[in-house]
Structure 1
Amino acid sequence: MSTILGHTIIGQGKRIMLVLHELMGDCRNYEPSFAYLNTQEFTYVFLDHRGYGKSKAIQGEYSCNEAAKDISTLITHLGFREVYLTAHSMSTMIAQKAALLDKRIIQLNLITPISAAGIKMKPDAKETMLLQMQQNESKIEEIVEAASKRYNDTWRQYRIDMAYSSSTLDARVGYMKMYLETDFLHEAQEGIDVPIKILTGAEDFPVFSTTHVQKLFKGYKDVEIVECAVAGHYPMIECPVYFVTQLEKWCSNLL
């Protein structure tokens, strides 16, 4: 029996937008943008990965292949013929794998992305990172603090609470391991033949900066990069009107 991931559907338009979340949140990350969605032209499907949100009770191996197959299964379950796939941060790897597996995906919209090579770290640093996440003490706080220097304590606590409440510990550790150890860059560069639209944040970490992302995606076939001048790692929360406007602009000319 196929696993059908939990999801939230908004809208009834002919353009189908399937949306994936990041490591330290679930589909609630997109709630600040809900009021601005064009629900007449688009149908939005906000998906929760295994171990997250509405799929919190669904266990798995939390691999890129598994997550990509889950996306394909949901597309089939919902009866969609063509889908725009939007992904944020760690899920941008999953989206790239899904585009290789499922030709019903006609465009990738990657928000503050990483390439199919994942994030490279020295072995000792990687093991320390995974151990700290597994111990479930202070690592989330450390990451949020580093990403939130511009914002107040209310924002920081909101992001910390979201990270802990959105997912199971096994899922967080599993997907972190995924992007630290998975590399299918050559396959993605050669095999992804749909447009890739990328949104970066000018205030994001250096590893997600526009300059760095340009280098990461240099070998891909059809890439457009737009920078949001006032966002960090969460354009959908920090600049929701701009986020939705850019997303729908990218997807209004293909059908």
Structure 2
Amino acid sequence: MIGHRLHGRGPRHALLLHGWFGDHGVYGPALPAFDPETWTLALMDQRGYGLSRDQGGPFDIATIAADALDLADRLGWERFSLIGHSMGGKAALRVAVAAPARVERLLAVTPVWAGAAPFDAATRALFRAAAGDAGAREGIIRHSTSDLLSPDLYRELVAGSFAQSREDAFAAYFESWSGDDFADRVAGLDVPVAVLVGEQDLAITADLVRTTWIAALPAAELRVLAGVGHYPMLEDPAAFGALAAGWLGEGRTA
């Protein structure tokens, strides 16, 4: 079974998928917002990360989605909601496309879109270098948070990203989340979707989301959280948790 941590014991079910720079622990500060008598959350670690660090590939979006569905099966969850952050947002959308009847609601948090990322050569080179270069990782994180966090927090995020993932997995996931394209399969998706962006995120902006997620999914909602960048669950866990638990809680009972 793919590595994961369970939170709560309630009848409402949700799978949480982390992003490129961290493991399941990124959601830890926001967990108090989820009543353990109401919710059971499965915080999954992608292959090569955290509790799944020793698991082999493929390290790609399709495998994350397949592992998420397998985990739901093993937990006995017929229906569940999804939260996906950044790379995990693209993977969560892939889950919804593959099994729409099983997904109650999808909250995509500062998410990568289903299509290929429109990187120029210099940006792609920077992101590829980040697999082994701490400076490149820090530069990417600083840009996505408008350089507003403390130096200590940037150092902590970079060091944590190296500790929580294998370099080969980190490198391979970049090629997948930036290059894979299943946007043509998203049209007509009948799953309630909310897309949350941080006001200070210079990478995944509200305008970018409008031209991708919102344009392709007319019923999708855009939410902008003030005062945060690409990591709202770390930058303002109380506000993020309240929004996440409140929006997912509007769905049907599992």
Deviations 1:143-188 (A, max 9, x none): 2333451121111111111111110001111111112211111111
| Equivalent position to 1:212, from 194, 208, 220 | 208
Moved >4 Å (runs of 4+): none
Query: 5 Å matches for 1:70-109?
Result: 70-102=67-99, 103-109=101-107
* In structure 1, distance between residues paired with 2:134 and 2:149: 22
What letter matches 1:22 in structure 2? G
Quickly say closer, same or farther: Cα 1:160–1:9, change in 2 above 3 A.
Answer: same
Task: Map Cα deviations across residues 193-229 of structure 1 (whole Å, 9 max, x no partner).
Answer: 1011111100111x31112211112121420111101
Change (3 A) 1:219 1:131: closer
CA RMSD of aligned residues (A): 1.6
What are structure 1's unaligned runs of at least 5 residues?
A: none
Residue in 2 aligned with 1:9? 6
Q: Following the alignment from structure 2 to structure 1, what is the Cα–Cα distance between the partners of residues 12 and 182?
A: 29
Gaps of at least 5 residues in structure 2 are: none
Cα distance per residue 1:98-134 (max 9 Å; x no partner): 1111231221110001220131223x33652354134
Mapped to 2, the partners of 1:135 and 1:245 lie a distance apart of 36
- Seen in structure 2, the aligned counterparts of structure 1 residues 11 and 65 have a Cα distance that, compared at 3 Å, is same
Provide TM-score, normalisation by structure 1: 0.92
1:189 CA displacement: 2.3
Q: Give the length in aligned residue pairs.
A: 249
The residue correspondences of 1:92-241 to structure 2 (distance < 5 A) are: 92-102=89-99, 103-122=101-120, 124-125=121-122, 128-129=125-126, 131-136=128-133, 138-148=135-145, 149-190=147-188, 192-205=189-202, 207-217=203-213, 218-241=215-238
CA-CA distance at 1:38 after TM superposition = 1.4
- Secondary structure at the aligned position of 2:222 is classed as strand
The amino acid that maps onto 1:208 is I
State the partner residue of 1:47: 44
